[in-house]
Each structure stands twice: as structure tokens, then as C-alpha cells.
Amino acid sequence: GTRQFVVIIIATAGMASDPMSTDTEKKPVKTEPWMMQQFYKSYFPCAAVCDWLSYGNPAVNLKQREISFWLPGDIVQRFKSFEKPEQLRKRLDSNRPPDKIDIGAVYNIDPTKKDGAPVFQALSKELVFDIDMSDYDNVRMCCKEKKVCQQCWPLIVCATKVIHHFIKEDFGYQHLMNVFSGRRGIHVWVCDADARQLTDEQRGALARYISISETAGKGKLPSLDKKTQTQLREGRLHPTIKEVMTEVVRPAFAALYLDEDNFNNIKNTDIRALIVEVIEHCMPKAMQKADTQKLGTYLGFGQDKPQKLGTCEDMWAKVRKWAEGKRWGWLIDFVELAFMFPRLDVLVTKRKDHLLKSPFVPHPATGKLCVPLFDLDAVEQFNPDDAITVFDVLNDASKRQALRAYEDQFSTFIQVTTADKGSAEEDRTEA
């Protein structure tokens, strides 16, 4: 009521903007404890989240699962566990609601009893991948660091699609849940029973198998690992990378860098300069000055108006033709892969004890909900600027209805994953 309205006005003070604006930068970004308390009490799908984590056996998969809480003031409460949804609901409905809820591993014992236990080890957890937009700062000019928009979102979409292809086609896992991180990325949770039982070593090997990108973040050139570079030059690229190159990466590169309406397209001076630098770096000996100048000409350097060269697609076609004429056609594939391929934090995937935000919690810095996006089309169509916030849920009935639609999809997903018992015995008892 009145109190909600007053707090929202206070939260937007100094922003010199219409508080009803849909611009993500004009929304309040700091969550208040009373807001979180009301959200967790009335709208957080506590039973569904516990049902998901239980996989049909709450006595082990829920009771021995670590749930951690981040409280205001950067206070972290780790190794909490709950036997029933009602217990978690009671904890959330308190005077100190958490800013964030993280999900950890299933341990050999109740994690609250770890002190003094002879053995305390993580037994299982979903296989997870963290795709963070800040790792792509050297190939996007529209935003930097913590910011993300529809112009650069295709980078996240491409990475998510590539991971899905590898996980489903090369490893046979099927139960993947993509969750918006609440700020600038996607978390991919692989929930198959067999995937949850992978060791840290197996998870690390799997992550490295997918990771061919060698650089991340600003200040470094986009690149690929030496093995992939050699395979590209010799025309013997890994079959799965070949498939995703054709089916995912090349169309995604075109949708971002060859789109006339995208700020990051190859008519952007910084992007054009980056492409020339990447190609020069790949072939410093074979590339002659005349070749560099020719490449720059095709990309519009030395011309006041690059649009005179035609569309972005025309410009890129000329670059490709030039490279193929020099028998350097692999350079074009190199650029597209180096710009678009997933840039993964291997340790996040490798370690079962790594914590990751729970679905449906609000991000404490943005107020945006970590909603699940099961269909890859949903990831592609998702607009991070319009993501549902905790403020929306508390004040807008239509947003609450949209949240329920996400919950319905989540419930369907839970039914499928619970039925999957895997090839090995799923539930382990106390060690």
C-alpha cells in the first residue's frame, strides 16, 4: 500500500526519471529487507524449489543439501539444511530475510552436523555452467562490466545454445534448466541423475572439453586455444565444433555483428579495428602490409562513410572472399568462434561444493528475479531490461501472473527430472 509506494519513491531519489519507466537503469536497484520478507512470505515458490532439490528423495537430496544465505552486511550463513519446505519457509519468514539464497551440494551427512564428523564430503550436485556477460567485454561496445542490453544479449544466447548442443549431443544429458542470473548472464543447470553424480575431475574434464576460448574480459584479444587454432589451420576441426559453427555460431555472429541496427555491428569503428587486430595477431608472419591494408579497405577504413560499402553482410562477404583467396579462409571461422564461443569459468563447473543462486530469488543489486528459461527460444527472446523484479511482483498483478507462468513450467520440469533415476543408483545414504 502506501508504505510500498513511499519506499519505491525513496529508492529512485536522485535518478531524475519517471519511476514508472521500463528502462532498467531507471528502476530502483536496492532491495529493502521488508520487501524481501514480503516476497519470500507470499511469492517465493518454496515448495517447488524444495521439490526440485529432492528428486523424489527428500530424506537425502534435501536434508543433506547445503542451502546458504547471504544476509545484509555481507554476512554469509553456510551449511544450512532443511528436511521439509515448511522449515525453509519458516526461516525465510523472519525479521532477517536473506538478500540471496545459494544452492550447494548434497553431502554424505546433514551439513549442519559437519563439525566433528569423521568424514564430510560432497556426493552430488547438478552440473552447472555460469555464462557471465562481463567475460565478453572485449567484443561488445554497447555495454561494459555489470551492464547488459538486448544489443549484446545474443552473446549469452549463443553460448547457451553451444553448451546445450555439447551436453545433449556429446554427453546425452537431456534435463537442462537455464536460469537468468538476475543481472548479466545465464546459469545452465544440468539435472540428469547421472550428471549429478559426476566427480569433480569428470566435471572439470567436461568443462575443458567445451572450453576453446582462451581469453575473457577487456584488455585482451579474443582468441582460441592453441589446439583449436592448429585444427582450424589444418582443416580438421573437432566434429562437434564444426556442427555448432554451422548451426549456432555463424548465425549468431551474423545476428549480432552483421545486423544493420545493432550498435556492435562491423561498421562500429572499434569492432572493425578489433577484427583487423585479431586477424593480424593470428598470422603475423604471413600477413603482409598490403594484405592488412586490403582487409582494412573491405572493412571501411579510410572511408568517411562505411555504409558506402554496402550492408554489413556485403562487407563481411568481401572479407571472407579475400581470406579464402589467400587460403586463409580459416581466419574467418577463427574470428567468429573467438567472438562467440562460451567463455566458461571451469572452476564453477568443476567443483560440486561451488554455490550458485537459487532459481526465483531476487538479485540483491538489481531486484530482478532469477527466472528459469527452459526453452532455448525463451532465452533468445528474453529481454534482460524487462526482467521481472521483486518490485514488480509486490506491486503489479500482471507481473505476478507472469511469475506463476514461470512456476508452472518449473513444476513440469520437476516431474520429468524426478522420474529420471539414471544408470547408477541415485540416492546415497549416510557414509
Q: Which sequence positions are flagged as catalytic?
A: 66, 130, 132
Residue type present at position 247: E
Instruction: Give me 402's grid cell.
Output: 507472469
Enclosing H/E stretch for 33: helix 33-42
The alpha carbon of 204 is separated from its chain's Cα centroid by a whole number of angstroms, namely: 18
The Cα 55–Cα 195 span in angstroms is: 13
Name the residue with cell 527428500.
58
Instruction: Give me 165's grid cell.
Output: 548442443
Classify 135 as helix, strand or coil.
helix
Instruction: Give me 316's grid cell.
Output: 563481411
Ramachandran angles phi, psi of 118, nearest 5°: -65, -35
Instruction: Give me 274's grid cell.
Output: 578489433
Residue 315: name the closest of 362, 268, 280 by CA: 268
- Under a CB-based contact definition with an 8 Å cutoff, are residues 41 and 92 in contact? yes
The Cα 293–Cα 173 span in angstroms is: 48
CA atoms within 13 A on the CB side of 68: 17
Taking CB atoms within 8 Å and a gap of at least 24, the contacts of 381-386 are 382/153, 382/180, 383/150, 383/153, 384/24, 384/148, 384/149, 384/150, 384/153, 384/180, 384/184, 385/22, 385/23, 385/24, 385/149, 385/150, 386/22, 386/24
Instruction: Give me 306's grid cell.
Output: 562505411
Enclosing H/E stretch for 5: helix 2-11
Distance between start and end Cα atoms, the chain: 52
| β-sheet bridge partners, residue 128 | 189
Residue 166: name the closest of 145, 190, 147 by CA: 190
Name the residue with cell 514488480.
392
